[in-house]
């Protein structure tokens, strides 16, 4: 397919790249060690337009298409910390798109516009201790009480959860209706009854904060309901497509970075009298890995092209055909990520097992892709249904 990128995309990509290399990467190790990066990173990213590029101008955005988000996701791995990248992507591409799609003027002014400026930190509250990929099984519920809703329950694995200013929260509002009884709310974290139950320790993505949240008789006014009641599951399925696409684009960027790092390492590292990259076995191995990454990128671009055409150009709901391609991309990219990072680590030998090398961190971080945003097994279930199997 022809390149989807124009000159303005290239300028934006360069802005993201320079921001990552000059302002984030030098601190990545310290933030990984501290298991948190500063809140100021959100504000600086907002000032540079990283969050706003693909949002409408009337909402505080720059009015660009979805390819700005894809370009951003491909460049963010250069910051050197998947945790930082994750926190920023949740802010601009996971917790906020549904507000742009459904929000009232007041909701957009109170939540979306300050979020894409980096002035408020956002989190997406969907997963629960007993409901991950099976979103229909969520148990957090809300009961109507006059002009308010009383929310009880909990959420877990919530990125940005310890410091968010608000959470885009999915709850059950009609427990008897199963998946079709869910609704979205925008919940300021200062709301009485909202608690950060604990910060979670993770295998990877250390610089991002991940929390378990609890709600006890939390009173949320009707004006904070997002969209129509009991339509939350449908809204979420649309929102998930963007989340999965962004994850694929980011993973493709991360795989390319790992290959480039490994080849650079292999030019300097000598074994048995010559640089290890000069060994034919490894040359052929990297040819195969690069070929697969190009295939993954092409599949991701195909899915992104469909998503951009339907969602940004035609302003239509995402079609089942797009869902199929996005799900296939997440399957393929997720499994390839494990292969690429593992082989790049193997190429480093003992050095790859040391935390001082970026590949060691990448080995832990990439494993999330086959879980977050819907497991690989769930993606195969969706694709099988869409293939009529």
* Catalytically annotated residues: 243
- For strand 122-125 and strand 166-172, is the pairing parallel, antiparallel, or unpaired? parallel
* Cα distance between residue 158 and residue 164, in whole Å: 10
Q: How many CB atoms lie within 10 A of CB 369?
A: 23
Tokens of 125: 């509250």
Contacts of 69 (CB under 8 A, 6+ apart): 53, 54, 92, 93, 242, 246, 249
Tell whether the torsion through CA atoms of 142, 161, 88 and 299 is positive or negative: negative
* Cα distance between residue 232 and residue 184, in whole Å: 5
Tokens of 277: 């990259």
292 with 378: CB under 8 angstroms? no
207 with 31: CB under 8 angstroms? yes
In terms of C-beta density within 10 A (0-12 exposed, 13-18 middle, 19 or more buried), how is residue 377 classed?
A: exposed
Q: Which residues of 227-239 are buried (b: 16+ CB within 10 A; e: fewer)?
A: bebbbbbebbbbb
98 with 115: CB under 8 angstroms? no
Of 277, 281, 257, which is closest to residue 268 (Cα–Cα)?
277
DSSP tag of 352: G
* Cα distance between residue 213 and residue 194, in whole Å: 7
* Cα distance between residue 346 and residue 367, in whole Å: 16
Distances in whole angstroms, Cα of residue 385 to Cα of each of 327, 329, 388: 12, 16, 5
3-state secondary structure of 141: strand
69 with 246: CB under 8 angstroms? yes
């Amino acid at each position: 397919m022809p390149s989807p990128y124009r000159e303005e995309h290239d300028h934006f990509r360069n802005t993201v790249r320079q921001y990552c290399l000059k302002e984030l990467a030098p601190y990545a190790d310290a933030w990984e060690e501290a298991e948190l990066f500063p809140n100021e990173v959100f504000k600086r990213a907002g000032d540079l337009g990283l969050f706003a590029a693909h949002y409408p101008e009337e909402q505080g955005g720059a009015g660009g298409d979805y390819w700005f988000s894809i370009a951003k996701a491909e460049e963010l791995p250069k910051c050197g910390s998947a945790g930082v990248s994750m926190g920023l992507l949740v802010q601009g591409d996971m917790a906020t798109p549904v507000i742009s799609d459904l929000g009232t003027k007041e909701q957009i002014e109170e939540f979306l516009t300050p979020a894409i400026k980096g002035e408020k930190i956002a989190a997406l509250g969907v997963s629960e201790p007993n409901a991950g990929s099976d979103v229909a099984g969520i148990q957090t519920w809300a009961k109507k009480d006059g002009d308010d809703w009383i929310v009880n329950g909990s959420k877990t694995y919530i990125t940005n959860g310890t410091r968010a200013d608000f959470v885009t929260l999915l709850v059950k509002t009609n427990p008897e209706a199963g998946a079709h009884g869910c609704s979205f709310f925008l919940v300021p974290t200062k709301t009485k009854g909202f608690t950060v139950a604990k910060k979670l320790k993770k295998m990877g993505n250390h610089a991002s904060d991940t929390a378990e949240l609890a709600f006890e008789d939390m009173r949320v006014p009707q004006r904070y309901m997002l969209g129509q009641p009991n339509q939350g599951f449908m809204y979420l399925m649309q929102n998930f497509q963007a989340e999965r696409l962004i994850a694929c684009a980011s993973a493709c960027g991360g795989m390319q970075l790992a290959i480039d790092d490994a080849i650079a390492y292999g030019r300097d590292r000598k074994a048995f009298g010559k640089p290890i990259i000069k060994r034919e076995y490894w040359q052929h191995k990297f040819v195969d890995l690069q070929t697969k990454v190009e295939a993954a990128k092409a599949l991701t671009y195909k899915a992104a092209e469909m998503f951009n055409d339907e969602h940004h150009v035609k302003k239509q709901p995402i079609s089942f055909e797009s869902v199929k391609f996005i799900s296939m991309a997440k399957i393929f990219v997720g499994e390839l990520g494990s292969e690429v990072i593992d082989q790049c680590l193997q190429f480093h030998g003992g050095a790859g097992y040391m935390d001082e090398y970026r590949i060691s961190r990448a080995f832990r971080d990439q494993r999330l892709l086959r879980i977050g945003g819907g497991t690989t097994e769930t993606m195969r279930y969706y694709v099988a249904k869409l293939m009529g199997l």
